[in-house]
Amino acid sequence: MRPLFHPSVEDVTVEAILHALSDPVRVAIYADIVGSGCSQNCSTFLSVSNKTIPKSTLSQHFKALREAGLIRSERRGVEMQNTSRCAEIENRFPGLIKAIVNAHNIQLKEKPRSSGSKRKRPRPQ
């Protein structure tokens, strides 16, 4: 098996972090890993935000999070355990991860907007 790529904390960039967390599934996965405080198995996230995620897609999400420097993945037998690199990133970019996870949690608490609540544009006369 190929070794997994984990960038050094010095190579982690804000742009890579924001890009990795721009996907709603990835930010939900990452927020759960950060909130748990312990390693999480990939199969824990086969369902995210009431959506079933295929294993191949889930692997790509974890790869994006890992390559952005947000998580550290470790093979344990046939399973992959993922832990947050929050402490390392906090030292490099103080407050960034906390702000992103906080914003994600606030967004989750908001009521979903119904399609009927969209404003209609006034018709030209």
**Side-by-side strand order, sheet with 79-84:** 40-41, 79-84, 71-76
What domains are defined for the chain?
Answer: 9-105 (1.10.10.10)
d(CA 68, CA 96): 14
The distance in angstroms from the start CA to the end CA of the chain is: 67
pLDDT (tens, 9 = 90+) of the chain, 125 residues, equals 677 889 999 999 999 999 999 999 999 999 989 988 777 777 778 778 778 888 888 989 999 999 999 999 998 888 888 999 999 999 999 999 999 999 998 998 886 654 444 555 556 66
Residue 107 forms beta bridges with which residues? none
105 Cβ contact partners less than 8 Å away, ≥ 6 residues apart = 31
